[in-house]
Amino acid sequence: MPSGPDQTTLADNPQQDSRAFTALAVASGKGGVGKTMLSVALAYELSQNAATLIIDLDFFNRGLTGLLRSGKIIKDLQAPNLLPELNATNQALPGAVPNQAETAAAQQSAGEAPWQLVEISENLFNIRYPDLSTDDYARIENMQIVDLAQDLSDYIAYVARECGAHFVVLDCHGGPDRTSFAACKIAKTTLLISEPDRITLYGTLNFLRQLADAGGATADHDIRLVLNKVVSSFNPPFLLRFYNENIRSEFANKPLLAMFPMEEYLTKAFEKNALLAKVYPESLLARKTRVYIYDLLAKTEATHLSPDLKGLSKPERTITRTTLGREFILLSNNFAVAMIFSIAMILMAVAVVEENSRSILSVQTREMLRDFLEVFTDVPYFAVFGVFWFVLTLFRSWMQSLSRTSIFLARTGSRVRASLAAAAKAVVATPLVAMLGLFLGELERDWRYAYQEGFFVEALLDSDVLTLLIALLFCAAFLAEYYFYNLKRATRLRRYKRISKIEGIANGIAILLPILIGVPLWSFLY
């Protein structure tokens, strides 16, 4: 909800007094840019080594509250001072530990569910609170930002003490409202989320103006831009260049904090499980979050960061920061299909011309065209290459999709469906692996004969063998990548180590078994 400029400016940042917590605010100039997804990922990664509290400050939409419905209730909490009707019994000074029994009784007598501290995941806490009335919301929007920031800061300090949280993540409302400005004042750093399009950029810049009018954009406020939902038609070098040349000056000349691609499978999974960084620790969402946490906090908060995060090497950080995970065009299904069809169409056109132009083309030209067609029809390499290319791209996308499905299901507890997905993965993988086995069998037979006959080197350099070798290298590299991906996941997550190990072993068997069967079978048949 937009608000006009506030007449009061905040002389001091509430964060600057001796708080035990470090707050990070996640705000945006408009809604729907992915603040909540990034907030949860940020809070989860921070919670790996220090208790972390994530708070839904979007009192109006309450998207985060809707997502984090499950969790263990730790205790009842006092309602904040800024809601006096809900907090009738609280006569203590701001930030004082309240009488929980009295608070809860007052809230229940007022017909309200109590404010509660909920543990979402190990070390990760959330405040669960009832819907705010229109009067409450209007009161908050009419408060001076300085007072709102002070009240919120006091309340956060109280809840952080209750759960021992060192980090606090504030998920703000989408747009320039007073609560967001107050959150910016409380936070050590504000992440301003935007998308690379005209409408969102306008909203982002409008947020900055409104914040400056409200007295928030002082030199000690660290506000950083994060680009989210970047579609694949954008390149990282372009975005970095555009930011540095045009936008950087609006953010105190600080570098772009991060850019996140549009990962569609995450968007779909987010509705089912909010802790995406936990389910997909190797997703770009999780990896990039770890890198920007490193950039923001490695120097000042090193003791509170996990060893994994502190141990990120410079090359790893650089690569993760600059990648948007766009797949190489030659491995894209659409591109492979388009190319194969284009070549087929050209061949058909040439054949038609050759057939129907006896009176126009000379004999020599017609012969040339026929020879040209024979290159494609008589020599099978082009056809084999086309089929192999198509199968590879299709195999890759199917395996990727099935792999993500089985990981998600395995890690969210649906064992039967996870097993079905793993079985589907094996069905897709087997034909390619079987082909690999057959190739190996063929090679073994040829090489043994060649070695016995004394022309092993010549046989190795023979074009057929080289073609097979290239195919083998493709298969081996691709399957190895897939296999090690599983192993890496297994070492990353302690909690799911057992599941990952089983996955790794199952994949190893799926790869090795057809080869072990295929090689002797081929040798036996021929």
Partner 1 sequence: MLDTVKTVVDRIGVVTDQLLAGSIVGGIVIGGMGGALSSDDDLEHHGVIFFYIAVALILIGFSFYTYARLFSVSSEQELAFQEQGKDVLEDHRTKSQRA
Q: Which is nearer to partner 1, 16 or 246 (CB)?
A: 246
Please list, residue by residue across 250-275, b when 16 or more beta carbons sit within 10 angstroms of its beta carbon and e when fewer do. Answer: bbeeeebbbbbbbbeebeebbeebbb
User: Which residues are registered as beta bridge partners of 230?
Assistant: 261
Q: Which is nearer to partner 1, 367 or 453 (CB)?
A: 367
The secondary structure of the chain in percent helix, strand, coil, rounded to multiples of 5, reads 60, 10, 30
- Stretch near partner 1 under the rule CB under 8 A, chosen from 34-42, 269-277, 373-381, 461-469: 373-381
- Which is nearest to 321 in space by CA: 285, 288, 348? 288
- Which is nearest to 432 in space by CA: 401, 407, 398? 398
Radius of gyration of the chain (CA): 30
Query: 450: phi > 0 → left, psi -120 to 50 → alpha, else beta; which?
Result: alpha
Residue 98: CA atoms inside 13 Å, Cβ hemisphere, count? 27
Among 17, 197, 355, 453, binds partner 1 (CB under 8 A): 197
Distance (Å, rounded) from C-alpha 284 to C-alpha 268? 15
Strand order in 167-174's β-sheet? 72-77, 115-121, 124-128, 52-56, 167-174, 22-28, 189-194, 222-230, 258-261
Alpha-helix runs per DSSP H in 360-414: 363-377, 381-411
The amino acid sitting at 207 is: F
The answer to the question of residue 381 lying near partner 1 (CB under 8 A) is no
Site string for partner 1, 261-300 (x = CB under 8 A): ----------------------------------------
Q: Which is nearer to partner 1, 250 or 282 (CB)?
A: 250
Distance (Å, rounded) from C-alpha 439 to C-alpha 469? 9
SS (H, E, C) 325-352: CCCCHHHCHHHHHHHHHHHHHHHHHHHH
Distance (Å, rounded) from C-alpha 135 to C-alpha 155? 20
The answer to the question of residue 33 lying near partner 1 (CB under 8 A) is no
- Stretch near partner 1 under the rule CB under 8 A, chosen from 97-105, 242-250, 268-276, 353-361: 242-250
Among 113, 319, 352, 368, binds partner 1 (CB under 8 A): 368
CB of 238 to partner 1, least distance (A): 5
Among 1, 105, 132, 247, binds partner 1 (CB under 8 A): 247
The answer to the question of residue 344 lying near partner 1 (CB under 8 A) is no
DSSP label of 169: E
Q: Which is nearer to partner 1, 198 or 299 (CB)?
A: 198
DSSP label of 300: T
Among 20, 92, 97, 212, binds partner 1 (CB under 8 A): 212
Site string for partner 1, 298-337 (x = CB under 8 A): -------------------------------x-----x--
CB of 292 to partner 1, least distance (A): 22
* Residue reference for tokens 């009707």: 85
- Stretch near partner 1 under the rule CB under 8 A, chosen from 18-26, 236-244, 299-307, 436-444: 236-244
Distance (Å, rounded) from C-alpha 478 to C-alpha 472? 10
Phi and psi torsions of 385, nearest 5° = -60, -45
The answer to the question of residue 235 lying near partner 1 (CB under 8 A) is yes
In contact, 162 and 46? CB cutoff 8 Å: no
The answer to the question of residue 376 lying near partner 1 (CB under 8 A) is yes
Phi and psi torsions of 31, nearest 5° = -80, 165
The answer to the question of residue 242 lying near partner 1 (CB under 8 A) is yes
- Which is nearest to 3 in space by CA: 141, 96, 104, 206? 141
Residue 397: CA atoms inside 13 Å, Cβ hemisphere, count? 15
CB of 451 to partner 1, least distance (A): 33
- Stretch near partner 1 under the rule CB under 8 A, chosen from 10-18, 194-202, 301-309, 388-396: 194-202
- Which is nearest to 181 in space by CA: 154, 204, 210, 160? 210
The answer to the question of residue 353 lying near partner 1 (CB under 8 A) is no
The answer to the question of residue 375 lying near partner 1 (CB under 8 A) is yes
CB of 253 to partner 1, least distance (A): 15
The amino acid sitting at 88 is: A
Among 202, 451, 455, 484, binds partner 1 (CB under 8 A): 202
The answer to the question of residue 374 lying near partner 1 (CB under 8 A) is yes
Among 238, 449, 451, 484, binds partner 1 (CB under 8 A): 238
Distance (Å, rounded) from C-alpha 214 to C-alpha 45? 32
CB of 372 to partner 1, least distance (A): 4
The answer to the question of residue 392 lying near partner 1 (CB under 8 A) is no
Among 132, 339, 468, 502, binds partner 1 (CB under 8 A): 339
The answer to the question of residue 201 lying near partner 1 (CB under 8 A) is yes
The answer to the question of residue 416 lying near partner 1 (CB under 8 A) is no
Q: Which is nearer to partner 1, 99 or 206 (CB)?
A: 206
Residues in the chain: 526
The answer to the question of residue 233 lying near partner 1 (CB under 8 A) is yes
CB of 250 to partner 1, least distance (A): 8
Q: Which is nearer to partner 1, 369 or 487 (CB)?
A: 369
CB of 236 to partner 1, least distance (A): 9
Catalog residues that contact partner 1 under the rule CB under 8 A: 196-198, 201-202, 205-206, 208-209, 212-213, 231, 233-235, 237-238, 242, 246-247, 250, 329, 335, 338-339, 342-343, 346, 367-369, 371-372, 374-376, 382
